[in-house]
Amino acid sequence: MLWPFTLVGAGAGYAIASIPGAMLGALLGQALDRRLQVQSLAELREHFGGQKVPRDDELIFILLGRLAKRDGRVLDGHIQQARVEMRRLDLSEPATRRAIAAFNRGKDGRDKLRAHLKRLKTQPHAAEGLLRACWRMAWADGKASRAERELIVLWGKWLGWTAERVEALSSTEDEHRMRAPASSANQYPDALRLLGVRTDSEPAQIKRAYRRLLSRHHPDKVAGSGASQLQVRDATERTRELHAAYAVIREKRGFR
């Protein structure tokens, strides 16, 4: 974590009065950082009138908007995929409005995204979920173009991933996309079975079952229990399946 005023204060203090000055300058700078709630250079720019720092639930849609516009034109498939991602994340109405605004903001292409992505390096599950969503958007029109691939690989690099590892996610997302139409007739019954609910279950019951299963199978929770990498990968896949199942049920039943 970078505290801008703390660093500036320490540097200025050292230049004036060596180590004691650096210590005093750092303390004064830290107090200013905390008062202004500034934890990075990006937030410092925001505070003084620069580009607004996106929330985590906005950053993903900024990336998706950037990808959708990458080849020059946003297609209906891109817009539909953005809506799928909103349902997948079970966003509230205010969060959905922020996501739509973030998607449009991403299409403008003005954001400098490197610093925002680098701060997710310490959150591997969040980083993987973000990259998977990017690949789903890239495949939304039936193909992932070279320009889209290069952009996602670059973002992966900023997240601390190798190009090979990022490309491997593309293959898995494409496989899921290709398998989906074959099982579409059974999606709703399969989704009900996965969440352990019935066709007559109330929306509140369905939501409780979904959240209970998410909590049980969350990859971060599994990893924290000392599980193997294979178990963590299985938990990640199960979480994906739960998100998809819940989205299918909500679409079929027509509730938020």
Summarised one tens digit per residue, pLDDT across range 8-50 is: 666 776 677 677 767 776 777 677 656 555 555 555 554 444 5
Q: Domain boundaries in the chain?
A: 4-47, 56-182, 184-253
Range in 123-132, 144-153, 179-188 with the lowest mean pLDDT: 179-188
Taken in order 13, 14, 18, 19, is the CA torsion positive or negative?
Answer: positive
Angle at 234 between CA 230 and CA 235, to 5 degrees: 115
DSSP state of 37: T
| Cα–Cα distance for residue pair 142/136, rounded to 1 Å | 10
Q: Up-side HSE of residue 227: CA atoms within 13 Å toward CB? A: 17
User: Which strand (E) or helix (H) includes residue 225?
Assistant: none
Give me the architecture of the 184-253 domain, per CATH.
Orthogonal Bundle (1.10)
Average pLDDT of the residues in 186-201: 87
Q: Classify 40 in phi/psi space as left (phi over 0), alpha (psi -120 to 50) or beta.
A: beta
- Checking if the pLDDT of 3 tops 70, the result is no
| Cα–Cα distance for residue pair 114/111, rounded to 1 Å | 9
DSSP state of 185: G
Extract the tokens encoding 82. 């953005």
Tokens 């991602």 label which residue?
Answer: 85
| Cα–Cα distance for residue pair 166/116, rounded to 1 Å | 18
**198: helix, coil or strand?**
coil
For residue 25, the model assigns a pLDDT of 67
Cα 238 to chain centroid, rounded = 17
For residue 151, the model assigns a pLDDT of 95
For residue 32, the model assigns a pLDDT of 64
Contact 102, 62 (CB under 8 A): yes
Contact 105, 62 (CB under 8 A): yes
Q: What is the mean pLDDT of the chain?
A: 79
Average pLDDT of the residues in 216-228: 73
At position 106, the amino acid (one-letter code) is: G
Phi, psi of 122 (to 5 degrees): -90, 5
C-alpha gyration radius of the chain: 21
| Cα–Cα distance for residue pair 106/129, rounded to 1 Å | 18
Contact 228, 219 (CB under 8 A): no
Q: How far apart are the first and last CA of the chain?
A: 36
For residue 4, the model assigns a pLDDT of 58
